[in-house]
Amino acid sequence: MHEIRTPAETASPRMEELARLPVFFALKGRRVIVAGGRPAAAWKAELLSAAGAQVEVCAISPGREMREVAASPPGGRIVLNERDWRENDIVGAALAVGDFPDADEAEKFAAAARAAGVPVNVIDQPDVCDFAFGAIVNRSPLVIGISTDGAAPVFGQAVRAKLEAMLPRGFSAWAGAARRWRTAVKASGLPFEARRRFWQLFTAHALRHPDEDPADSHYEALLADARGQAAAAQAGSVTLVGAGPGDPELLTLRAVRALQSADVILFDDLVAREVLDFARREAKKMLVGKTGYGPSCKQDEINALMVALAKGGRRVVRLKGGDPLIFARATEEIEACRAAGVAVEVVPGITSAQGAAARLGVSLTERAAARRVQYITGHDRHGKLPDDIDWTSIADACATTIVYMPKKTLGDLADRAIAQGLDPATPAVAVANATRASERAIAAPIGAMAEALARTHLEGPVLVMIGRAMAGALAARDPQHASQHVAG
């Protein structure tokens, strides 16, 4: 008898420890003091000028780089004072930046800045800094800062280079358009949900067409679309989203967008908690899971909650492990939404079998060994082996069979399939927690797999893959340690 569980809200995960607090200073028109004239100080002066600061440089002998950037500043003016810095220079400044080869001079500058209540940075001396300059990806007004807390600057630069390659330069124009249009959207008369829909449409268009130049025609078209969808936005909706087998990097882009626009997320026990990190922090997260032979929410209760939330105007994401259309009761939830007149859509996900096979480095089909793949469930709604399995298809030597949730029934399943002609020596692999850090896998002939499962006590969701395509699967993944994984 299953223990009955009621849907329960789950608190958003608390922020983990930060080495640095990422903040963005508004410096336009504000005075910033830079002490030092070497190339590193020149780069900081240029950066501060680009942010709109009025930069005052104090240096007895400014170098060539400093003179060049002062002569042609990218933003705010740069004034050169060819003398040493003084404490009065710092008073009233927004920031103070120093470049000193001498540690005592650095300490003196930092102490003067703190006495004046001015945040201070001393280049390459993190111990006396109140703030740090990180690596920057500039798509202004979209700006991304990267910090390693001084631990690995080369690593930070590598991350910056990767982001530079990923982010089209056209994002700068679209971010600028967002800044121009924000006031107009607020004054458009659209209700809150429709305004949010405008920005979702805006974002989707910018991501698809980053190299287009944003024009008034884009604004009018997006506003008209948002206005046309206002009624639907107020009515609420349900989206069934596949969370994949566990590794959050296997989420689809569409799944991430759904999570980031959701008001409420109803999620299963099989969903890795790291996946919820992609959701809006403001979204309510409710555990409505069902566990094999453990505490479970009633499906009718989940359906009713989902529909009620959507009818209350909420954008509901029903988050399911793997793919929502494979052994996840999607039909019942879709029908409940349609019967209630609630808009419903499905975002497919990578199912556990695909994730497990990818981690093993094996194909589920092979021209010579496996001409088809079939998914079956290892238990019915009462927790027993289903009576309506096509045993002839399971015995087919040219099929790869994936059995979901088979821990309690695999012995009976193997016995009946073998009785129908399945070779007991057919290779099989059992995988628990596929694609997660806690993943474990064992290999054995199907005739011995139930015993191997019982002996190894695999924890978490398990699936078993049966077929000639599984021959040598674990050895292919980890040849040096294959014997540690192989059972039977």
pLDDT tens-place string over residues 426-473 = 999 999 999 999 999 999 999 999 999 999 988 888 999 999 999 978
**pLDDT of 211-231, one tens digit each?**
999 999 999 999 999 888 766
Domain 31-133 fold is Rossmann fold (3.40.50)
Helix axes of 192-208 and 253-261: crossing angle, nearest 10 degrees: 160
Say what percent of the chain tops pLDDT 70.
Answer: 92
Helix axes of 330-339 and 299-311: crossing angle, nearest 10 degrees: 40
**pLDDT value of position 1:** 46
Tell me the range of 3-17, 292-306, 382-396 where mean pLDDT is highest: 382-396
How far apart CA 276 and CA 152 sit, in angstroms, is 29
- Does residue 367 register a pLDDT over 90? no
**pLDDT of 107-118, one tens digit each?**
999 999 999 999
**pLDDT value of position 285:** 92
**pLDDT value of position 108:** 97
Task: Give me 447's structure tokens.
Answer: 């005739």
Task: Give me 152's structure tokens.
Answer: 């690995």
| Catalytic site residue from 99, 268, 269, 323 | 268
Give residue 270's pLDDT band: very low, low, confident or very high (50, 70, 90): confident
- Does residue 336 register a pLDDT over 90? yes
- Polymer length of the chain: 488
User: For the residues 13-31, what does the mean pLDDT come to?
Assistant: 88
Contact 95, 25 (CB under 8 A): yes
- Does residue 319 register a pLDDT over 80? yes
Three-state SS string across the chain, please?
A: CCCEECCEEECCCCCCCCCCCCCCCCCCCCEEEEECCCHHHHHHHHHHHHCCCEEEEECCCCCHHHHHHHHCCCCCCEEEECCCCCHHHHCCCCEEEECCCCHHHHHHHHHHHHHCCCCEEECCCHHHCCCCCCEEEEECCEEEEECCCCCCHHHHHHHHHHHHHHCCCCHHHHHHHHHHHHHHHHCCCCCHHHHHHHHHHHHHHHHHCCCCCCCHHHHHHHHHHHHHCHHHHHHCEEEEEECECCCHHHCCHHHHHHHHHCCEEEECCCCCHHHHHHCCCCCEEEECCECCCCCEECHHHHHHHHHHHHHCCCEEEEEECECCCCCCCHHHHHHHHHHCCCEEEEECCCCHHHHHHHHHCCCCCECCCECEEEEEECCCCCCCCCCCCCHHHHCCCCEEEEEECCCCCHHHHHHHHHHCCCCCCCEEEEEECCCCCCCEEEEEEHHHHHHHHHHHCCCCCEEEEECHHHCCHHHHHCCCCHHHHECC
- 89 burial via Cβ count (<10 Å: 0-12, 13-18, 19+): buried
Give residue 488's pLDDT band: very low, low, confident or very high (50, 70, 90): very low
User: For the residues 288-292, what does the mean pLDDT come to?
Assistant: 67
384 is catalytic: no
Tell me the CATH number for domain 236-350.
Answer: 3.40.1010.10
Mean pLDDT for the chain overall: 89
**pLDDT value of position 229:** 75
**pLDDT value of position 13:** 64
Contact 243, 319 (CB under 8 A): yes
Residue 62 backbone phi and psi in degrees, to 5: -60, 135
User: For the residues 286-310, what does the mean pLDDT come to?
Assistant: 81
- Does residue 378 register a pLDDT over 80? yes
Q: Identify which of 21, 71, 25 has the alpha carbon closest to the alpha carbon of residue 46.
A: 71
**pLDDT of 142-193, one tens digit each?**
999 999 887 888 899 999 999 998 899 999 999 999 999 999 999 998 888 7
Residue 109 backbone phi and psi in degrees, to 5: -65, -45
- Does residue 482 register a pLDDT over 70? no
**pLDDT of 77-122, one tens digit each?**
999 999 999 999 999 999 999 999 899 999 999 999 999 999 999 9
28 is catalytic: no
- Does residue 399 register a pLDDT over 50? yes
**pLDDT value of position 15:** 74
**pLDDT value of position 460:** 86
Domain 353-485, architecture per CATH:
2-Layer Sandwich (3.30)
**pLDDT of 44-56, one tens digit each?**
999 999 999 999 9
- Residue partners of 233: CB distance under 8 A and separation at least 6: 191, 193, 194, 196, 197, 226
More confident residue, 6 or 144: 144
CA distances from 164 to 146, 217, 283 (A): 12, 29, 30
Contact 275, 319 (CB under 8 A): yes
Q: Count CB-CB contacts under 10 A for residue 61.
A: 8
How far apart CA 389 and CA 470 sit, in angstroms, is 22
User: For the residues 128-139, what does the mean pLDDT come to?
Assistant: 92
- Does residue 365 register a pLDDT over 70? yes
Give residue 481's pLDDT band: very low, low, confident or very high (50, 70, 90): very low
